[in-house]
A and B are shown apart, each in its own frame.
Chain A
Amino acid sequence: MKKHIGIIILAMLVLLTLLLYTVAFTVDETRDIVLITKFGEVKRVYTGTQDAGLHFKWPAPVERVVRLDSRGHDLKSVYKQTSTQKQMQVMVSTFCTWRIKKPVRFIKAKKDITGVEASIRSLLGTQMTSVVGGYDMESLVNTNAKDMKLQEIAAKIKDGLEDKLLQEYGIEIMTLGIDALGLPESVSAAVIENMKKEREKEAQNYVSQGEAVATAIVGRAKAASNKILAFADRKAKDIETQGEAEAAKAYSKFEEDPQFGMFLRSMDTLRKTFKDRTTFVLDSDMIPALHWLRQKPSLDVYPSQVK
């Protein structure tokens, strides 16, 4: 007997464990709400945040464990067509995150999570239609952020649901928002047509603007260039005037004999003017030396006298 004491203890432990399974239960801190029902009536409620750990109950069928998820659940509504205040048709979809706030109420509603979500979805649709109907299109989309009221609309939908959901199903909405906003198919077709027209107009504007701006830029540059050149010419004339003023000082010597001075200047001008590439057609009499081509030399006649 002594030899097998270990095995016996082990067997007893296994037996004890099996027994424990029928009377003990755990409450998970991260996700559980546990209700203990006695013949269908809720007797005790344990929440993970407060009562996590090992607990005991009478074995079934006296007491039974009902386990609920204490965490938030995501729920999406149907994408639904509705009217704004000015009877414009829009499509709106909402979502909400809900959790069980009153587990006993939740159990009494005799619904599971799928059933509750169907009810929430239905209520959400009704409430959304009612709230959106109180706003115009400018409250849904607006370049002025202050006039865009999507958050306000979502808050109103949430406010309208909270009491009912808590009283009827024991649940609370943690958050609610609008996760899709659109237009019915026929309206979106008109919007797209309008977008096309606007873009065609925009394309034409780009073409004409491009030409106009480019021409203006080059025009401005040319005008600016002309201004610079005008100032450069003015400066060039200043420089040349300075040169002439200095040259005038050198020409002051001519005052001694202006006639001789002008003669020298004329000769200088002749030399420069007819320096090259000039064709002369001359009367042969003009050059006295040519006389010697036609006539033998004679001491009586000096060439300058020949006419």
Chain B
Amino acid sequence: MTDEHLGQNQNVKPNMSTDPPDAAMKSLADALRVSFKLLSFIMVLFVVLFLATGIESVEQKELGIVKVFGKVTGIAKPGLTYNWPFPIGEIELVKTQERRLSIENFWLFELAAERGRKLSARRRGEGGLKPGQEGYLMTADRSLIHMKFDCTYRVQNPLAFKSKLSNPEEVLRSVLCEQAVAAAAVRTADALQSKHEEFFREIKEKAQIQLDELMGVTPGETRGIVITNVLLPQGQRAKTWPLAAYTAYEQAQNAKSDKEKKINKAMADATKILVGTAGANCSRALVGDPARLGGVKPEDLEEGQDYDLIGQYSSVQDQLQMLKSSGGKPEIIAKYEKQSKVLLGKIDGNLTSATTGGEVVEIIKNAETAKTKVIQNAAKRGNTFDKLYADYTKAPQLFLETEWANTIDQIFAEPTVVKNYITIGKDGTVLRIDQDPRIKKEIRDYNRKQSSGN
């Protein structure tokens, strides 16, 4: 039935409404009208929905490849984008945020129950490593090492990322494994353990070159994938020796650590000895760094800095001795003697410097004190001689006796001097000497103090 027919039905006279067939027609017409309207609405809704398929929201850290009938027409940046509706147009979204790929191909076989357990506490199977089950790297010294690492990367050029490889992440994994095998094959196991940063750097650089080739990227072009880092996973043990050899490696590691501790302690002791002898600066200037392993290179020293003067002096002296015994040229001998003198002057300068410390200071100080004392005593005696000589010349014998008696008096007047007088008889005399306990105690204290001072 057409709309016109429906329109004609609407024009039916009201007096005919009582006619049952006309009422049925009207009811049918109403139902058809409603259905048609509903159908129209649904169709319009479908059209709207169809058109809406062209709207795409590109999130931050995303890019969209815009295609019309499969042909790429542009790259959509973050924001709301409209393209032709599907299936005419399509926007393929690619995440550009940094992603992490874990490479566990070279890691040991772990039972789920053992995962959280320390390696040292794990079951250590005897025998070899099962191929295909236990991953490891073989090193240049034919050792085996388990290792896992992470690769962080991001998509820079979404078109290259999507159009060159069907599964870029799997290819990236294969390339990283290949480079890890090659990089381990030219390194010793110890180098791999201790210098893993260098190992990872090599993997990263070579894997990037390989990926660029695979994605047809020439230098200067934006890359499909940019490897941002290759590193050990955080917060977990990521490299170890095979568990069967674990104890031996631990023992070796402990022994190495002990060795380092012993050497460090010895170096500290050596420094203490030298600081105690002459202070840090003076001892370095005089004997260098005898505790330093491998010696000191000239470039480590500041310009004009005194270093190992005694060593230099000794070698100059050796040269001199050799020259003298072999009849060397006088001018060369003179040159060495001059050099020797200069070095000795520098040594003396350091020994008496204000920055010198330790025993040397005491030795020099004692010598200075002794020097002063000798001079003062001599001066005092000279003065006494001058003062008394005139009296002596007047009555020499009387002066001598008086002076002698005065001296004896002075000695005996000292409170700690003990005097025991005896009269020697004709028969044998037995002498029992017992000192004043206070003096004995004083002597004991003095001796104790002296011995503890040494």
A residues near B, CB below 8 A? 1, 3-4, 7, 10-11, 26-32, 48, 52-54, 69, 71-74, 76, 79, 81, 91, 95, 97, 137, 140-145, 148, 150-151, 154, 174-175, 177-192, 195-197, 199-200, 202-204, 206-207, 209-211, 213-215, 217-218, 220-225, 227-229, 231-233, 235-240, 242-244, 246-251, 253-254, 256-257, 260-261, 263-265, 267-268, 270-271, 274-285, 287, 290
Closest beta carbon of chain A to B203's beta carbon, Å:
12
For residues 176 through 203 of chain B, which have their beta carbon under 8 Å from a beta carbon of chain A?
A: 177-178, 181-182, 184-189
* CB neighbours of A267 from chain B (8 A): 403-404, 407
Q: Considering the chains assembled together, what is the distance between the CA atoms of A221 and B271 in angstroms?
A: 8
Q: Considering the chains assembled together, what is the distance between the CA atoms of A72 and B210 in angstroms?
A: 14
Q: Considering the chains assembled together, what is the distance between the CA atoms of A270 and B407 in angstroms?
A: 7
What 5 A-B pairs come out closest when comparing CB atoms?
A243-B371, A210-B259, A221-B270, A189-B128, A247-B378
- A95, closest chain B residue (CB): B174
- A281, closest chain B residue (CB): B420
Verify if B138 is at the interface (C-beta below 8 Å from A).
yes
28 A-B residue pairings within 8 Å (CB atoms):
A29-B72, A69-B166, A72-B166, A72-B214, A74-B167, A79-B131, A81-B131, A141-B138, A141-B139, A141-B186, A150-B181, A177-B178, A179-B181, A203-B252, A207-B259, A215-B266, A236-B366, A239-B367, A253-B385, A257-B392, A264-B381, A276-B414, A276-B416, A277-B443, A279-B433, A280-B412, A282-B422, A283-B421
Number of residue pairs A-B, CB distance < 8 angstroms: 422
Verify if B384 is at the interface (C-beta below 8 Å from A).
yes
Bitwise, B429-446 to A at CB < 8 A (1) or not (0) is 001010100010011001
Verify if B110 is at the interface (C-beta below 8 Å from A).
no
* CB neighbours of B175 from chain A (8 A): 175, 177
Question: Do B375 and A250 have beta carbons less than 8 Å apart?
Answer: yes
Task: State whether A142 and B128 are in contact (beta carbons under 8 Å apart), knowing that A192-B245, A267-B403 are contacts in the complex.
Answer: no
* CB neighbours of B170 from chain A (8 A): 74
Closest beta carbon of chain B to A141's beta carbon, Å:
4
* CB neighbours of B72 from chain A (8 A): 29-30, 52
* CB neighbours of A232 from chain B (8 A): 278, 351, 359-360, 363-364
Question: Do A79 and B132 have beta carbons less than 8 Å apart?
Answer: yes
Task: State whether A217 and B367 are in contact (beta carbons under 8 Å apart), knowing that A184-B131, A192-B144, A282-B421 are contacts in the complex.
Answer: no
Q: Considering the chains assembled together, what is the distance between the CA atoms of A275 and B407 in angstroms?
A: 11
- A215, closest chain B residue (CB): B266
Q: Considering the chains assembled together, what is the distance between the CA atoms of A202 and B366 in angstroms?
A: 52
B residues near A, CB below 8 A? 3, 40, 43, 47, 65, 67-72, 87, 92, 105, 126-132, 135-144, 159, 162-167, 170-171, 174-175, 177-178, 181-182, 184-189, 210, 213-214, 241-242, 244-245, 248-249, 251-252, 254-256, 258-263, 265-267, 269-271, 273-274, 276-278, 282-283, 286-288, 290-291, 293, 310, 347-348, 351-352, 359-360, 363-364, 366-368, 370-375, 377-379, 381-382, 384-386, 388-389, 392, 396, 400, 403-404, 407-408, 410-412, 414-424, 431, 433, 435, 439, 442-443, 446
Question: Do A30 and B359 have beta carbons less than 8 Å apart?
Answer: no
Question: Do A182 and B138 have beta carbons less than 8 Å apart?
Answer: yes
* Selected contact of B378 from candidates A222, A246, A281, CB within 8 Å: A246
Closest beta carbon of chain B to A31's beta carbon, Å:
6
Closest beta carbon of chain A to B138's beta carbon, Å:
5
* CB neighbours of B407 from chain A (8 A): 267, 270-271
